[in-house]
């Protein structure tokens, strides 16, 4: 009885706005915090993601995408880094539309650095997105 009551009390519904904040945070790095007027947090976290992403492109990094030409294991190998890249949000979508950063430049010395920066930019934005979501849901201050 008591355990059930505690379980019921612990189920806090997530407000709808939190999902929208999460979406905005994914789309534009830092936007999720800005919407909630967390200016410094948004500037630092969003700024860091933007810098990592742009530096990755500048260093000659390569963005991943699963194209129709690959099948089976080859497509799977592209899928995981693509999921990391997609975390960057609209900057990734913009690069995809404009075809920026999808060509491989393995001859550049900083190519691997660029790749790592681009992958980590997406992963960091997932973290920033979750932080903004938690704040909007009231789970974090």
**Closest by Cα among 3, 118, 16 to 60:** 118
**Contacts with another protein, residue ranges (CB under 8 A):** 41, 44-45, 48-49, 51-52, 55, 59, 109-110, 113, 116-117, 120, 124, 127-128, 130-131, 140
Distance CA(118)–CA(62), nearest Å, equals 8
**Rounded to the nearest whole angstrom, what is the least distance from the CB of residue 55 to another protein in the complex?**
7
**Rounded to the nearest whole angstrom, what is the least distance from the CB of residue 75 to another protein in the complex?**
29
Q: By three-state DSSP, how is residue 133 classified? A: helix
Token code pair at residue 53: 């992403």
Q: Are 31 and 42 in contact (CB under 8 A)?
A: yes
**Rounded to the nearest whole angstrom, what is the least distance from the CB of residue 8 to another protein in the complex?**
25
Cβ proximity to another protein, 86 vs 129, nearer residue: 129
Cβ proximity to another protein, 77 vs 105, nearer residue: 105
**Rounded to the nearest whole angstrom, what is the least distance from the CB of residue 38 to another protein in the complex?**
10
39-58 and 90-98 helices cross at what angle (nearest 10)?
Answer: 30
Cβ proximity to another protein, 45 vs 84, nearer residue: 45
């Amino acid at each position: 009885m008591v355990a059930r009551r505690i379980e019921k009390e612990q189920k806090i519904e997530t407000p709808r706005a939190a999902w929208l904040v999460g979406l905005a945070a994914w789309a534009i790095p830092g936007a999720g915090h800005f919407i909630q007027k967390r200016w410094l947090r948004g500037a630092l976290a969003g700024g860091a993601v933007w810098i990592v992403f742009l530096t990755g492109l500048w260093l000659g990094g390569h963005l991943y995408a699963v194209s129709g030409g690959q099948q089976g294991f080859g497509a799977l190998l592209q899928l995981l880094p693509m999921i990391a890249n997609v975390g960057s949000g609209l900057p990734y979508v913009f690069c995809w539309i404009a075809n920026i950063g999808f060509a491989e430049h393995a001859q550049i010395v900083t190519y691997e650095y660029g790749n790592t920066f681009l992958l980590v930019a997406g992963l960091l934005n997932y973290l920033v997105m979750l932080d903004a979501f938690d704040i909007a849901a009231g789970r974090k201050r």
